[in-house]
């Protein structure tokens, strides 16, 4: 498995990059040391924050009792609170963040454009529309029904955007413009559907629409985790093809890639990773857009990497989850989707400012 | 080549959770109060004596059958948690029963006994944006959760049921078709206060009948109640067959034939305000600015009820503005007598003048 | 980029001029038709003849009140806000040489929205006349901020960086506004539905209060078109042609602030209008900014009015806010344009 970015010498002023050669029975290649270290650190951060989040809540539990409940001791009800209520949410924050980062990386690589993220080009809006219709029209709120609807809606939107943007080749720019158009239409449809709904239905959909983890249970987290593992494996298998596609279709063909099949596979992986999260927690904005870009800048690599993007996404959503719990303690519960927007957006802006300053010159 | 660890992003990344930790650290320690952010605590009524004496009519164990599942009260509950809309809390106040947990209310209802409210251990004001705070409810250690007309799905019910038995409807009811008498009777049976509940209900119904009898001038008249939501237009409240229409007909008003047109779609177009007309028109406004804007439009001034002065206007925060809630889903043994009294007085003023 | 210029050889100038004049004539006719439609269609089913009657001879009847006090004000607001957003979009696209630039996408509307939210928090004000100043301040701050972030030290930011900055800024500003409304739902009930984008809530008095700013913005915009044409040739060529690049930039930001801030104050923000209309206009006029700006000022109101009329019809007796429908009406056109090979030419 090669995670090393080609072409960096031309792109980076810092010269070459540290890398280690990995040889195993089934794969050999170079792993960029910085990329590995940053991804590892972010992954550890995500897990540490998730564990901290287990200690926060309205039910009073000292850290020792939380750990005790995790380990299996403690009273029955403390175990219920920690293992049945808090753990699935904390775990989902890490896994969903990773999925969103992964989906963003896949799409940004596919479109060769940071704006080609699922949240910008409308795939999560499509998934959301499908779920809103399922809840309002069919009246179903079970995990599998919403997950299937989200996946179908996401894939259908992806298909529509792909077809509309495809015209003798798939220009990244055209894809983004078409995606913004489709996502604007879907956003309007969603807004309209929600305002037309009964109060009770609107409450369900509205709560879900804010992007919140707080109602997740094992019943929805377990299947989501199982599917997430499949998506991650599929993505890992597709990474070499993804790298070759980034060099351009001609080069990819010359290197023996079946371009159409690889692209379709990546599309499905990208949509699935977004739709999985949308189905369980509603649209959580900005992680898919920001995580790959933040990761790219942290690892100083010229292209997006699914591994570091997933680690960044996990850290971002995990921190947002902890912050959401914190605000609930201090004054009011704030949906995690709102916090990802503020945290991810601010960090993104900071990075952009730094980058534009580095390009030099006076402002204005 | 040279492996350089960039400090700035690393610092940013490590600073972030540290700040967050500082934020939550003070709030999550065991010493902190057990409830959400804005929760106010008072322990004056804790430790027994929360409920009136049992009547001995209810047989425990009592099976609570709900649309979402079944729970069982093995003995008479002592510590009651109340979630949901105001009628649920009203049902307990009417019985003189003090819960240990309730969600904070956004409004100071005129019928709410503030002294009684202050004796509730936990008034959880953090819950408003997030429908149910399971951990805060669990922390109040209840042995019954009154959640009539409030549980959204089976998963929520299961989680509530893992804390304590749950009181909910046997079938899901639409928001504008809720019977406050049924809620009162359910609470009465669960708390072994059925006779007291029947008394509360008949007292309230008698009070309403008394108000109606005091206002013969309203008998047979029609009344339209509507709310001006400003941006999204005027919503027609007294639709045929709805809760609001039931409230006003109890006062002796006749059903408004025009109300039939709003059953499916209760919005009134700005261009067709004439459809609001009735013998008495009551319009609720979000604030005074909205009222001034509406009253300045010629089409509103042209509505016969407005032109003839048979028009009552109440803005949020003004006396009587809580009427809107009672007309929607806030009716209870406590709120309904208050509401018909206010409505009869205001309507009577414009009808007789 | 440049494709449009390349296909504009001097000898075809006469043809282009004829086509532009025809385009303006078509736009004017469409605008007149849209205004009439906006006056004729609504929840109150007035016959066309009756509408014309009360339009020419106001008689104090219900029909007259419907046409004069309900439909005229929202029509005027639609025309004013449409022109404002259309021209603001054209200016931003020309300045940044970025086909994706739009006050909505660059976060300007979100800035105005946040400022209005803060204004309500501070003053508890609830009328459009009082919103205006906050909306201006917010729009100006967001416009400057997004250029500082996205353009940094360089003459023109790469389209992607600028849009990235705009999307991030818009998301954060919107998030903070939502966060504020969460703190005190009671105080913020007034602003909660404000961002939906509607022309129905604003009266003539508020329009009169905002109109001078919109007019000033339009005049500045028209005056700048020559310099923007020079700027399109690149900074050095522009300087050698005598254009004052720095001044032009500052004035464009001023005009965009006036237009987008005023439009947002009137409607709560109609994104997509500023993104889409200049593309459609450029398609028929070519890249000459004088024609693009003038054409956008005429064509954008048509889009807004038609969307508003549609909103009155589709959900009778309720209404769908025009901001919802500009997207539904506008997006397919944008997609069709994106599929054209020359769509991105500026």
For residue B98, give every residue at least 6 positions away whose Cβ sits within 8 Å of its Cβ, in sequence order, or none.
B45, B50, B51, B92, B116, B119, B120
B268 - beta bridge partners? B234
Nearest CA of chain A to the CA of C170: how many Å?
A: 9
Measure A68 CA to nearest chain C CA, in Å.
35
Q: What share of chain B is helix, strand, coil (3-state, %, to 5)?
A: 45, 15, 40
User: Min CA distance, A29 vs chain C (Å)?
Assistant: 32
Q: Answer whether B106 sits within 8 Å of C190, measured CB to CB.
A: no
Determine contact: A277 vs chain B, CB below 8 A: no
Shortest distance, CA C318 to any CA of chain B (angstroms): 6
C319 and B233 within 8 Å at the Cβ level: the answer is yes
The per-residue pLDDT for B237 is 86
- Cα separation, C285 vs C293, in Å, equals 10
At C220, the pLDDT band (50, 70, 90 cuts) reads very high
Instruction: Name which of A180, A357, A361, A362 to mutate to probe chain C: the one with the most chain C Cβ atoms within 10 A of its Cβ.
Output: A180
CB contact under 8 A, C149 and A114: no
List chain A residues with CB under 8 Å of B174.
Answer: 198, 200
Q: What mean pLDDT value characterizes chain B?
A: 82
| Cis ω before B61 (30° cut-off from 0) | yes
Mutate to test the interface with B, among C201, C317, C318, C323 (most CBs of B within 10 A): C317
Residue B299 to residue C42, Cβ atoms within 8 A: no
Number of B:C CB contacts under 8 A? 61
Neighbours of B235 (CB within 10 A): 18
Q: How many CA atoms lie within 13 A of C97 on its CB side?
A: 15
pLDDT tens per residue across span B280-300:
999 998 888 788 888 988 889
Q: Given B106, B231, B299, which is nearest C193 (Cβ)?
A: B231
Nearest-Cα residue of chain B relative to residue C194: B231
Show which of residues 223-242 on chain C sit within 8 Å of chain A, judged by CB atoms: none
- How many angstroms separate the CA atoms of B137 and B143, rounded? 10
pLDDT of residue C126: 59
| Three-state helix/strand/coil letters over C103-125 | CCCCCHHHHHHHHHHHHHHHHCC
Q: Are the beta carbons of B270 and C196 separated by less than 8 Å? A: no
Burial of B18 (0-12, 13-18, 19+ CB in 10 A): exposed
pLDDT per position as a tens digit, B27-62: 333 333 333 333 333 334 444 578 999 999 999 899
- C254 at A interface, C-beta within 8 A: no
Cβ contacts (< 8 Å) between A184 and chain C: which residues?
271-272, 327, 330-331
Which positions in chain C touch A297 (Cβ < 8 Å)?
none
Calpha distance C313→A56 (Å, rounded): 51
- DSSP one-letter string for A80-143: IIIIIIIHHHHHHHHHHHHHHHHHHHHHHHHHTSTT--TTTTTHHHHHHHHHHHIIIII----H
Find the CB nearest A319 among B16, B35, B152: B16
DSSP letters of B58-70? SPSSEEEEETTEE
Q: What is the DSSP string of C65-105?
A: HIIIIIIHHHHHHHHHHHHHHHHHHHHHHHHHT-TT--TTT
Chains that touch C (3 or more CB pairs under 8 A): A, B
C339 → closest Cβ in A164, A286, A361: A164
Q: How far is C11 from chain A (nearest CA, A)?
A: 32
Q: Which residues of chain A have pLDDT under 70?
A: 1-31, 139-142, 167-173, 191-192, 194-210, 356-364
DSSP 8-class letter at B313? E
User: Exposed (0-12), middle (13-18) or buried (19+): which is C118, by Cβ within 10 Å?
Assistant: middle
Is residue C277 scored above 50 in pLDDT? Answer: yes
- Buried (b) or exposed (e) across A214-228, using 16+ Cβ within 10 A? bbbbeebbebbbebb
Rounded to whole angstroms, the Cα distance separating C202 from C219 reads 23
Sign of CA dihedral B319, B321, B323, B329: negative
Beta-strand relationship, B80-82 and B101-103: parallel
Please state which CATH class domain C2-339 belongs to: mainly alpha
What pLDDT shows up at residue A320?
92
**% residues pLDDT > 70 (chain C):** 82
Do residue C319 and residue B293 have CB atoms under 8 angstroms apart?
no
Cβ of B34 and A59 within 8 Å?
A: yes
**Contact (CB<8Å) B36/A219:** no
Q: Per-residue pLDDT tens for C85-102? A: 999 999 988 887 777 677
Please choose, from the candidates B33, B111, B66, the residue with its C-alpha nearest in 3D space to the C-alpha of residue B326: B111
Q: Which two tokens stand for residue B324?
A: 């809107």
Q: Which of B60-64, B249-253, C5-9 has the lowest mean pLDDT?
A: C5-9
Residue B130 has what pLDDT?
A: 59
Reduce the secondary structure of C166-199 to three states and give it as a string. HHHHHHHHHHHHHHHHHHCCCCCHHHHCHHHCCC
- Write b or e for each residue in A303-328: b if 16 or more Cβ atoms lie within 10 A of its Cβ, otherwise e: bbbbbbbbbbbbbbbbbbbbbbbbbb
Q: Any CB–CB contact under 8 A between C246 and chain A?
A: yes
Question: Angle between the A123-133 and A172-196 helix axes, to the nearest 10 degrees?
Answer: 30
Asked whether the beta carbons of residue C65 and residue B302 sit closer than 8 angstroms, the reply is yes
Rounded to two decimals, the pTM is 0.78
Q: CB atoms < 10 A from the CB of C248, how many? A: 19
Which residues on chain C are in Cβ contact (under 8 Å) with A166? none
Other C-beta atoms lying within 10 Å of the C-beta of residue A246: 18
d(CA B1, CA A342): 37
The per-residue pLDDT for range B258-275, each reduced to its tens digit, is: 888 888 778 888 888 888
Owner of token pair 């292209």: A303
- If one compares C154 and B10, the residue with the highest pLDDT of the two is C154
Phi, psi torsion values for C277, nearest 5 degrees: -60, -45
Chain B residue numbers touching C71 (CB-CB < 8 A): 271
Q: What are residue B227's DSSP bridge partners?
A: B235, B284
Query: Is the separation of the CB atoms in C208 and C249 below 8 Å?
Result: no
Closest chain C residue to A351, measured at CA:
C149
Whether C100 sits inside 8 A of A114 (CB atoms) is: no
By the CB < 8 Å criterion, does A15 face chain B?
Answer: yes
B108-125 pLDDT tens trace: 899 999 999 999 998 887
Using DSSP's 3-state secondary structure scheme, residue B156 falls into helix
Identify any residues that bridge with B234 across adjacent strands, giving them in sequence order. Answer: B228, B268
Instruction: Give the pLDDT of residue C334.
Output: 72
CB–CB of C103/C85 below 8 Å? Answer: yes
Q: Please, which chains are in contact with A (at least 3 CB pairs closer than 8 A)?
A: B, C
| pLDDT score, position A197 | 56
Q: Which of A187, A192, A136 is nearest to A157 (CA)?
A: A187
Kindly determine whether residue B106 and residue C185, on different chains, have CB atoms separated by under 8 Å. Answer: yes
Residues 285-344 of C with CB under 8 A from A: 315, 320, 324-325, 327-328, 330-332, 334-335, 337-339, 341, 343-344
Distances in Å between the Cα of B97 and the Cα atoms of A278, B9, B140, C278 are 43, 57, 16, 67
CB contacts < 8 A, A to C, total 139
CA distance B125 to B114: 16
Kindly state the helix (H) or strand (E) to which residue B267 belongs, with its residue range.
strand B267-268
CA distance to A173, C90, C107, per residue, from C99 (Å): 10, 9, 16
CA distance A248 to A257: 11
**CB-CB: which of B233, B290, B299 is closest to C65?**
B299
Reading the block at residue C139, the tokens are 């729009």
What is the H or E stretch that residue A23 is in? strand A19-23
CA distance A140 to C29: 49
Segment B306-331, tens digit of pLDDT: 999 999 999 988 888 899 889 888 89
pLDDT higher for C20 or A237? A237
Q: Which residues of C touch B (CB under 8 A)?
A: 42-44, 62, 65-66, 69-71, 126-127, 182, 185-186, 189-190, 193-194, 196, 198, 200-201, 203, 316-319
| Lowest-confidence region among A84-88, B91-95, B333-337, C269-273 | C269-273
Asked whether the beta carbons of residue A215 and residue B37 sit closer than 8 angstroms, the reply is no
Which long-range contacts link B60-67 to residues 24+ away (Cβ below 8 Å)?
B60/B192, B62/B189, B62/B190, B64/B165, B64/B166, B64/B167, B64/B168, B64/B190, B65/B170, B66/B151, B66/B157, B66/B166, B66/B167, B66/B168, B66/B169, B66/B170, B67/B168, B67/B169, B67/B170, B67/B171, B67/B172
Question: Does B272 contact C318 at a Cβ distance shorter than 8 Å?
Answer: no
The pLDDT-based confidence of C196 (bands split at 50, 70, 90) is low
Q: Which domains does chain B have, with CATH numbers?
A: 2-200 (3.40.50.1980), 216-351 (3.40.50.1980)
Alpha-carbon distance A255 to nearest alpha carbon in chain C (angstroms): 29
CA distance A195 to chain C (A): 10
Are residues C339 and A178, on separate chains, in Cβ contact within 8 Å?
A: yes
In terms of C-beta density within 10 A (0-12 exposed, 13-18 middle, 19 or more buried), how is residue A7 classed? exposed
- Give the residue extent of every domain in chain C: 2-339
Q: Whose CA is closest to B185, among B195, B171, B173?
A: B195
Q: Do A330 and B6 touch (CB under 8 A)?
A: no
Mean pLDDT of C180-185: 66
**Beta carbons within 10 angstroms of residue B118's beta carbon:** 12
Closest-CA distance, C177 to chain B, in angstroms, reads 16
**Residue A60 at interface with chain B, using a CB cutoff of 8 Å:** yes
- 3-state secondary structure (DSSP) of residue A319: helix
| Angstroms from C201 CA to nearest CA on chain B | 6
Pick from B13, B28, B162: which is nearest to A80 by CB?
B162
Listed in sequence order, the residues at least 6 apart from B213 whose beta carbon sits closer than 8 Å to its beta carbon are none
């Amino acid at each position: 498995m090669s995670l090393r970015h080609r072409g960096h010498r031309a792109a980076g002023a810092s010269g070459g990059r540290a890398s280690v050669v990995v040889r195993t029975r089934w794969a050999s290649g170079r792993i960029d040391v910085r990329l590995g270290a940053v991804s590892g650190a972010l992954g550890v951060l995500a897990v540490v924050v998730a564990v901290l989040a287990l200690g926060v809540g309205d039910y009073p539990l000292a850290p020792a009792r939380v750990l005790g409940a995790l380990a299996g001791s403690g009273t029955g009800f403390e175990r219920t609170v920690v293992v049945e209520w808090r753990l699935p949410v904390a775990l989902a924050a890490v896994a969903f963040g990773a999925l969103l980062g992964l989906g963003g990386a896949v799409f940004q690589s596919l479109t060769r454009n940071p704006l080609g993220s699922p949240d910008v080009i409308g795939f999560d809006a499509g998934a959301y529309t499908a779920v809103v219709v399922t809840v309002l029209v069919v009246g179903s709120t079970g995990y599998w029904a919403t997950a299937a609807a989200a996946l179908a809606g996401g894939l259908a939107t992806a298909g529509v955007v792909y077809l509309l943007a495809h015209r003798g080749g798939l220009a990244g720019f055209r894809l983004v413009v078409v995606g913004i158009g489709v996502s604007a239409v879907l956003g309007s449809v969603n807004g309209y559907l929600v305002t037309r709904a009964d109060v009770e239905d609107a409450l369900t959909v509205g709560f879900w629409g804010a992007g919140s983890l707080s109602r997740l249970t094992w019943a929805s987290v377990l299947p989501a985790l199982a599917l997430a593992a499949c998506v991650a494996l599929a993505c890992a298998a597709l990474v070499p093809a993804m790298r070759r596609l980034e060099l351009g279709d001609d080069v990819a063909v010359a290197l023996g890639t079946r371009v159409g099949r690889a692209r379709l596979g990546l599309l499905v992986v990208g949509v699935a990773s977004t739709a999985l999260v949308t189905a369980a927690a509603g649209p959580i904005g900005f992680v898919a857009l920001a995580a790959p870009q933040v990761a790219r800048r942290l690892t100083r690599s010229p292209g997006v990497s699914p591994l570091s993007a997933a680690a960044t996404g996990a850290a971002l959503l995990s921190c947002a989850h902890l912050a959401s719990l914190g605000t609930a303690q201090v004054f009011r519960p704030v949906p995690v989707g709102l916090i990802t927007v503020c945290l991810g957006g601010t960090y993104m802006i900071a990075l952009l400012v730094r980058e534009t300053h580095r390009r030099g010159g006076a402002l204005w | 080549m040279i492996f350089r660890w960039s400090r700035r992003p690393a610092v940013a990344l490590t600073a972030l959770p540290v700040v967050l930790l500082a934020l939550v650290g003070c709030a999550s320690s065991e010493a902190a109060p057990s409830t959400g952010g804005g929760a106010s605590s008072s322990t004056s009524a804790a430790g027994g004596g929360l409920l009136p004496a049992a009547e001995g009519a209810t047989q425990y164990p009592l099976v609570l059958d709900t649309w979402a599942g079944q729970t069982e009260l093995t003995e008479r509950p002592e510590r009651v948690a109340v979630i949901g809309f105001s009628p649920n809390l009203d049902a307990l106040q009417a019985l003189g029963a003090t819960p240990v947990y309730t969600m904070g209310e956004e409004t100071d209802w005129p019928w709410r006994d503030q002294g009684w409210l202050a004796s509730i251990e936990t008034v959880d004001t953090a819950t408003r944006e997030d429908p149910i705070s399971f951990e805060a409810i669990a922390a109040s250690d209840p042995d019954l959760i009154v959640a009539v007309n409030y549980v959204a799905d089976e998963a929520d019910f299961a989680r509530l049921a893992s804390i304590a038995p749950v009181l909910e409807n046997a079938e899901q009811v639409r928001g504008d078709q809720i019977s406050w008498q049924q809620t009162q009777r359910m609470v009465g049976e669960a708390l072994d206060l059925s006779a007291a509940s029947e008394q509360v209900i008949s007292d309230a119904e008698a009070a309403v009948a008394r108000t109606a009898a005091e206002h013969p001038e309203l008998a047979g008249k029609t009344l339209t109640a509507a709310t001006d939501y400003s941006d999204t237009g005027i919503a027609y409240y007294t639709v045929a067959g709805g809760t609001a229409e039931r409230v006003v007909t109890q006062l002796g008003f006749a059903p408004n034939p025009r109300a039939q047109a709003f059953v499916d779609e209760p919005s009134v177009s700005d261009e067709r305000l004439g459809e609001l007309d009735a013998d008495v028109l009551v319009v609720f406004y979000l604030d005074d600015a909205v009222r001034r804007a509406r009253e300045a439009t010629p089409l509103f001034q042209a509505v016969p009820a407005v032109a003839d002065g048979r028009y009552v206007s109440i803005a949020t925060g003004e006396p009587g503005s809580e009427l809107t809630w009672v007309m929607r889903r806030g009716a209870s043994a406590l709120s309904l007598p208050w509401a018909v009294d206010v409505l009869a007085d205001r309507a009577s003023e414009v009808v007789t003048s | 980029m440049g494709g449009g210029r390349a296909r504009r050889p001097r000898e075809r100038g006469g043809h282009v001029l004829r086509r532009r004049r025809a385009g303006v004539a078509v736009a004017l006719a469409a605008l007149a038709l849209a205004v009439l439609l906006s006056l004729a269609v609504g929840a109150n089913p007035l016959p066309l003849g009756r509408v014309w009657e009360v339009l020419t001879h106001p008689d104090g009847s219900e029909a007259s009140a419907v046409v004069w006090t309900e439909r005229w004000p929202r029509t005027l607001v639609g025309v004013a806000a449409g022109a404002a957003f259309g021209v603001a979009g054209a200016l931003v696209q020309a300045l940044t040489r970025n086909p994706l630039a739009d006050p909505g996408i660059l976060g300007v509307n979100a800035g105005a929205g946040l400022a209005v939210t803060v204004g309500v928090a501070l003053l508890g004000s609830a009328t459009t006349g009082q919103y205006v100043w906050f909306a201006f301040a917010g729009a100006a701050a967001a416009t400057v901020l997004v250029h500082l972030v996205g353009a940094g030290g360089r003459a023109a930011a790469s389209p992607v960086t600028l849009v990235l900055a705009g999307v991030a800024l818009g998301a954060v500003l919107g998030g903070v506004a939502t966060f504020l409304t969460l703190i005190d739902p009671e105080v913020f009930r007034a602003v909660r539905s404000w961002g939906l984008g509607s022309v129905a809530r604003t009266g003539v008095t508020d329009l009169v209060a905002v109109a001078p700013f919109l007019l000033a913005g339009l005049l500045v915009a028209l005056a700048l078109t020559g310099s923007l044409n020079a700027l399109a040739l690149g900074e050095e060529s522009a300087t050698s042609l005598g254009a004052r690049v720095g001044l032009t930039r500052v004035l464009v930001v001023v005009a965009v602030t006036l237009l987008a801030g005023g439009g947002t104050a009137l409607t709560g923000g109609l994104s997509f209008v500023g993104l889409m209309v200049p593309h459609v206009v450029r398609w028929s006029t070519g890249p000459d900014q004088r024609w693009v700006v003038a054409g956008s000022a005429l064509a954008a109101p048509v889009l807004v009015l038609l969307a508003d009329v549609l909103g009155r019809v589709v959900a009778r007796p309720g209404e769908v806010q025009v901001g919802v429908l500009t997207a539904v009406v506008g997006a397919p056109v944008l997609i069709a344009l994106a599929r054209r090979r020359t769509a991105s030419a500026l």
